[in-house]
Amino acid sequence: MYVAVKGGERAIENAHALLADARRGERAVPEISLQQIDNQLALGVDRVMCEGSLYDRELAALAIKQARGDMIEAIFLLRAYRTTLPRFGASEPIETGAMDIRRRISATFKDLPGGQVLGPTFDYTHRLLDHTLAQESDVASAATAPVDDTPYRSVADLLGDNGLIERAAPQEGQGADVGDLTREPLSFPAGRDLRLQNLARGDEGFLLSLAYSTQRGYGRNHPFAGEIRFGEVEVEFFAEEVGFAVPLGTVFMTECQMVNQFTGGDTTAPCFTRGYGLAFGQSERKALAMALVDRALRARELGEETDAPAQDEEFVLSHSDNVQATGFVEHLKLPHYVDFQAELGLLRKLRAEFFERNGESETPMQDAAE
């Protein structure tokens, strides 16, 4: 005998209890701490902060722990938390030129003021599984140079001195209000401010693939990594009540200045164009990909053809957000019986009519005709 489905509430509670149990895993294994996640899975924390759009290492570590290491779930947790936070305003623009640099490389100049600083990087490591890490290891402290607090201007700015590259903030106007897509729904065409915000929050994998597609000819950018820098920058907030900007603290950022193909022609002198990437923490792949996609999205503004996916603003900006994407893809798990029944009924009817027309009889069931 059929019994109408009941007990959804209890089933949900039981599922949540099973989740908590699975999250903890084997009880004999020590529980992971937020400090361990923050310190030893630091790049994961960086990614969650960046796409979660909230700079807080401890909360990001908590989100990773709660999400059992599922990064998109962790990003979602952080975003949902962010919704509930009161907003006091926007910080002053950060000055990446004054960054306390931990890593800084240029692919366009062999040497430059401040030099090439490799810093902590996977680059040039041989990707051989290091079995010594399977045990607790005793790692000696690395030798570091004394802190150099000289501000080093970016490669793009150095090029800009000679007019070889376009100015950083062209027509859209410095000092103009910067949009915020979390406060105003995106409409198209979007300004570069909103595009960059969207890309900064966008899924690393999605941006990576799009960036890759531009390198393979779908919207060629002709890029040079002018500079990638990673380090600590100060954040300031202009406080109305005191009348000046007060420091709030420091954040680690990765910035990528991409130098791209020329623009210019009869009326303007030829110069390189820019693509820009900026991400929380050490997120180089993300910053590079973002810079390539940013440049691709500038195609229309620069009078180039716009026929590749990465150049299609509506396509890119509408699908870059992994919290939106995962929600909608995963909502297919929700019940759809009502719609499925409606389709089933229609399909049965069409089939019945098909077989009738063709003089065949359908087996075995045809009760659904109206």
Partner 1 sequence: MTAPAYNFAYLDEQTKRMIRRAILKAIAIPGYQVPFASREMPMPYGWGTGGVQVTAAILGPNDVLKVIDQGSDDTTNAVSIRKFFVKTAGVKTTTTTTEATVIQTRHRIPETPLGDHQVLVYQVPIPEPLRFLEPRETETRRMHALSEYGLMHVKLYEDISRHGHIATAYAYPVKVDDRYVMDPSPIPKFDNPKMNDCPALQLFGAGREKRIYAIPPYTQVVSLDFEDHPFEPYRHDASCELCGATDSYLDEVITDDRGTRMFVCSDTDYCGTRRAMGHGTAAEDTEAAHDDR
**Residue 6 near partner 1 by CB under 8 A:** yes
DSSP 117: B
Query: What SS3 class is residue 66?
Result: helix
Q: Compute the least distance from the CB of residue 361 to partner 1, in Å.
A: 12
**Residue 345 near partner 1 by CB under 8 A:** yes
**Residue 2 near partner 1 by CB under 8 A:** yes
**Residue 359 near partner 1 by CB under 8 A:** no
**Residue 14 near partner 1 by CB under 8 A:** no
Q: Which range in 6-14, 114-122, 220-228, 250-258 contacts partner 1 by CB under 8 A?
A: 6-14
CA distance 66 to 52: 14
Query: What SS3 class is residue 239?
Result: strand
**CA quadruple 194, 47, 294, 172: dihedral, nearest 10:** 30
- # residues near partner 1 by CB under 8 A: 55
Going by C-alpha positions, the residue among 172, 269, 275, 182 that lies closest to residue 220 is 275
Q: Which is nearer to partner 1, 35 or 182 (CB)?
A: 182
The two structure tokens encoding residue 158: 């150095």
Q: Which is nearer to partner 1, 125 or 361 (CB)?
A: 361
Q: Which is nearer to partner 1, 220 or 319 (CB)?
A: 319
**Residue 300 near partner 1 by CB under 8 A:** no
CA angle 224, 226, 227 (to 5 degrees): 135
Going by C-alpha positions, the residue among 197, 156, 202, 205 that lies closest to residue 177 is 197
Of 27, 83, 267, 268, which lies in the binding site for partner 1, with binding defined by CB under 8 A?
A: 83
Write phi, then psi, for 99 (nearest 5 degrees): -60, 140
Q: Which residues are near partner 1 by CB under 8 A?
A: 2, 4-9, 11-12, 76, 79-80, 82-84, 86, 182-189, 314, 318, 323-324, 326-331, 334-339, 341-346, 349-350, 353, 364-365, 367-370
